[in-house]
Amino acid sequence: MTPPSAFDPAALGRRLAATHKGSTAVPHAEATPPDRDTAFRVQDATLASLGPIGGWKVGAKGLDQEPNCAPLPAAGFFSSGITLAGPPWRMRGIELEVAVRLAHDLVPRDGPPDAATVRAAIGEVLPAIEVVETRLADWRDSTPLAQLADLQSHGGMVLGAPSTLVPDDVDLRVVEAYLAFDGQPVAVTRGANPAADIWRLLSWLAWHCVQRGAPLRAGQVVTTGSCTGMLFAPEGAHVQAQLAGIGLVELRF
């Protein structure tokens, strides 16, 4: 692991951004920041090289766990039905998620906003597939902090059509999810997102982003953690997914 005194978040961000564009993967021992705040600085440096923020991912391992997040490059958002081809799609980790698109800026001034304020900022609820990828040469041996620095292993975000579900009715505790590879079911779940409370996640993220100097803006998409866990799609797979009451989303490799 790089000694904290020698750790350069900006330099690592540039290396990770170059790997997004095809450069050699970074050994995780060289990509492990000393703490969460430094990991977030690496994320910011990565986005400075990749282009504008199109949205955010946020999630938590439980109701009592501190959330984690990452900004997502606008260039990595795709519409349902996309075919993803080429070297960037090596891991093909698949997570089916509930996403929201903001209709209004969400910029609290004095702390995390309440649930009503968060709901009022949401314009659309969408089904989403996050494709998990890595810029770390040895991802399975990497630390959580290295993965956090690497945009929490974000590869791409595939969005289905906006649903007719109103934001007030979103409840991660009862969301029913279905995921299939090449027509064969690989996950059927109900309420499997461990964060459980979407409003806590979004409130935390809104205040975090203000403190970070990158507040949530209208048009950005926020995805809220996996409803299926992560499963790895075979090369060439047709990935089909559904969130009951929210909609369908699919992609091919």
For residue 9, tell me if it sits in a domain. no
Q: What is the pLDDT of residue 3?
A: 56
Q: What is the pLDDT of residue 4?
A: 56
For residue 1, is pLDDT > 70? no
Structural domains in the chain (count): 1
Q: Pairing state of beta strands 247-252 and 238-243?
A: antiparallel
For residue 247, tell me if it sits in a domain. yes
For residue 242, tell me if it sits in a domain. yes
Range of the domain at 174: 52-252
For 121-175, write each residue's pLDDT tens digit.
Answer: 999 999 999 999 999 999 999 999 999 999 999 999 999 999 999 999 999 999 9
Q: What is the pLDDT of residue 246?
A: 98
Q: CB neighbours of 93 closer than 8 A, spacing ≥ 6?
A: 131, 132, 133, 153, 155, 230, 231, 232, 233
Q: What is the pLDDT of residue 2?
A: 52
Q: Report the percentage of the chain scoring pLDDT > 90.
A: 96
Q: What is the pLDDT of residue 87?
A: 87
Average pLDDT over the chain reads: 96
For residue 191, tell me if it sits in a domain. yes
CATH code at position 94:
3.90.850.10
For residue 110, tell me if it sits in a domain. yes
For residue 5, is pLDDT > 90? no
For residue 88, tell me if it sits in a domain. yes
pTM: 0.95
Summarize the confidence of residues 185-203 as an average pLDDT: 98
For 73-105, write each residue's pLDDT tens digit.
Answer: 999 999 999 999 998 899 999 999 999 999 999
For residue 12, tell me if it sits in a domain. no
Q: CB neighbours of 225 closer than 8 A, spacing ≥ 6?
A: 57, 58, 59, 60, 95, 97, 172, 193, 194, 195, 201
- Which CA distances in Å does 164 have to 120, 167, 168, 249? 16, 9, 12, 15
For residue 99, tell me if it sits in a domain. yes
SS3 of residue 93 by DSSP? strand
Please state, in angstroms and rounded to a whole number, the distance separating the CA atoms of residues 161 and 129.
Answer: 12
